[in-house]
Amino acid sequence: MILRPRLQSRFRRFLLYPIEAAVVSVAYGVFAALPIDAASALGGWLARTFGPRLSLSRRAVANLGRAYPEKGAGEIAKIVRGMWDNLGRTAAEYPHLGEIDVYGNDGRVEVVGAENVDRLRDDGKPGIFFSGHLGNWEILSLGATQRGLPLDRIYRAANNRLVEWLYRRGRTAVEGALIPKGPAGARRLIASLKKGRHLGMLVDQKMNDGIPAPFFGRAAMTAPALAEFALRYEFPVVAARVVRLSGARFRLVISPPMELESTGERQADVARAMAQVNAVIEGWVRDTPEQWLWLHNRWGAKGRRGRP
């Protein structure tokens, strides 16, 4: 029994991981060889055809049932299919990020609120952009880069180092440090902010040691770092979303800085701020539910009703 976890780890490392990396490498090469629109279409077709059949889709169905108890099985299945389509397109568009001119005149990306990026770029202090896994969420960081405001981003590294290398290769057009989650990452975050840099955070995932904040009427464990940093250091916080309009065409919406109330009661202030953030993301998800990544274990196993 003691050796079993080690054997499982070696099995993954020396057999499964190389197979996974080979499949991902071939797919990456195929998508890179195609024009972006064709790659996006192929990625969407593959994902929406095979994704709903995977056991992982059961989590998406369960999450949708919690968020939309009024929806029937047919409606939920349609959203799940759309979710897989969006995810497949996003993956297929990775090799082409460097080709996307966010502020160009080709109609690839519509931008609303570009002046809010400029405001943070020119105010002489650090700031935080937050978003969620909606549309092609990489467009936000790409748009900031092309506006002269690189974002340091918090992310979870892939377990497979070979896949991680491809992930980083696809994002070379996006400037800014990639900061891994965890204690070491938290220290790097603070150092980044103290240097006057800006952060990009996807804050729609469950964090087991976070704080409960309402999301779709249920308590969802939420990372409080955004509110803690913003309230402690008085940084501006900007919400930004990416909407997939059709195919590989998008709308990037950057809102004005949020107003976070600071009463001196730090714990209550942080909880209130994260409730505001979750409310913003919930509004986005309700607007385009088929573009959110419902595969996250957002509410845990029970997904309790009510406010925390």
In the prediction, which pLDDT does 301 show?
Answer: 57
Domain-embedded: residue 142: yes
Question: How many Cα atoms occupy the beta-carbon half-sphere of 10 within 13 Å?
Answer: 5
Residue-wise pLDDT tens digits, 57-106: 999 999 999 999 999 999 999 999 999 999 999 999 999 999 999 999 88
pLDDT at 139: 95
Share of the chain above pLDDT 90, in %: 62
Q: Residue 211: CA atoms inside 13 Å, Cβ hemisphere, count?
A: 17
pLDDT in tens, 94-152: 999 999 999 998 899 999 999 999 999 999 889 999 999 999 999 999 999 999 999 98
Contact between residue 118 and residue 254 where contact means Cβ atoms under 8 Å apart: no
Residue 29: Cβ within 10 Å count = 12
Q: Torsion angle of alpha carbons 8, 13, 17, 19, nearest 10°?
A: -90
Q: Is residue 160 part of a domain?
A: yes
Instruction: Tell me the average pLDDT across 202-231.
Output: 90
Instruction: Please check whether residue 49 lies inside any domain of the structure.
Output: yes
In a domain, 81, yes or no: yes
CA angle centred on 105, ends 29 and 93, rounded to 5°: 20
pLDDT tens sequence across 246-295: 999 999 999 999 999 899 899 999 999 999 999 999 999 999 999 999 99
The whole-number pLDDT of residue 189 equals 81
195 located within any domain = yes
C-alpha distance from residue 1 to each of 5, 8, 9, 216 (Å)? 8, 11, 14, 42
Within a domain: 73: yes
CA angle 259, 225, 130 (to 5 degrees): 55
Place of tokens 């809010």: 116
Quote the domain boundaries for residue 97.
4-291
Answer yes or no: is 82 within a domain: yes
The number of folded domains in the chain is 1
For residue 264, being part of any structural domain is answered with: yes
